[in-house]
Amino acid sequence: MSTAPIVLACPSDYENVSAEGARALADAGFRLVLNPHDRPLTEHEVRTLGAEAVAAVVGLEEWTDTLMDALPSLRILCKQGVGVDNIDLEAARARGIVVTNVPGGNAGAVSEFTVGLMIAALRNLAQGQRAANEGDWSRFPGREISALTVGLLGFGRIAQLVAQKLVAFGGTVIAHDPFPDEESARRLGVELVARQELLARSEVLSLHLPVLPETVGTVDADFLHSLRDGAVLVNTARGALVNEDALLTALESGELAGAALDVFSTEPLPAGHPLTRHSRVLATNHMAAESREAYGAISKANAQAIIDLVSGREPANAL
């Protein structure tokens, strides 16, 4: 019977998209237990697959205190990315379980995707594709970023990379952050403004906030009423930031011209969800961070964190 320490890799297709990390763990003598499904694992599946795991690479599954209690050998949870809102950090600390993430590991991928979503929404790519499939050569005139003011709510690493790319298009970029990075704003040519001014001026508004008790439901009816009429909302951050009922109401009333959404309050979305069926919504399935380059960097960092902890060294980026 193998005595190799077990690592539960929760993200689907981990061995392929995170091959560098998988190789590093195998070379260090660990045994990988993989997610056999093309979806996030359920709590029951995590309990079953990870019963003897000393470490887990965390995807989108929820890590609660009861789940941690069910895995007595667990010593470290490594998030495949930066956001750890699906991990009960207090419960982990209370049980001596180390939690790590990889800040900036997918920032390039998410920033590129965010700009891509903006362009797709502004230029009506989804409508054009549907029309072409049906042999319809109708025109769908859109807007150019160079003529617009793009607002960033939050101005961390990903938002700054978004700004860097947008400035190259020649548009106006404004941002609001409760802890503004004034030096980066000056370097990038971004104007830092108050929150209400951001909403009033943004023709495209992109969300770049973490999920905290005070940010859940940030985009509610009042927020959308304050947003410039005819704006486009872009969200590649977290679905919990948006009250989806309020968003649908704003889209139906015409207050909001459109939305480009990669994240949702419930994932996976049920088939036929009103947001995916809305003619002015471009919806994708939480894929902003999905690049081979990002997975490579993140998987190697997670593998090293696991190797370090089991070898008695302090892993990098412990929270």
- Cα(156)–Cα(6) distance, integer angstroms: 35
Tokens 């996976």, residue located: 268
Active site residue 286: yes
Closest CA to 85 of 54, 106, 61, 67: 61
Active site residue 280: no
CA distances 288 to 37, 72, 122, 255, 275, Å, are 20, 34, 18, 26, 18
| Catalytic annotation, pick one of 143, 176, 228, 286 | 286
- Cα(69)–Cα(72) distance, integer angstroms: 6
- Cα(76)–Cα(104) distance, integer angstroms: 20
Tokens 């990038």, residue located: 188
* DSSP3 helix / strand / coil % (the chain, rounded to 5): 40, 20, 40
| Catalytic annotation, pick one of 267, 277, 292, 293 | 267
Closest CA to 11 of 76, 56, 70: 56
Q: Are 282 and 128 in contact (CB under 8 A)?
A: no
| Catalytic annotation, pick one of 61, 228, 238, 244 | 238
Bridge partners of 173, per DSSP, are 150
Q: Catalogue the active-site residues.
A: 238, 267, 286
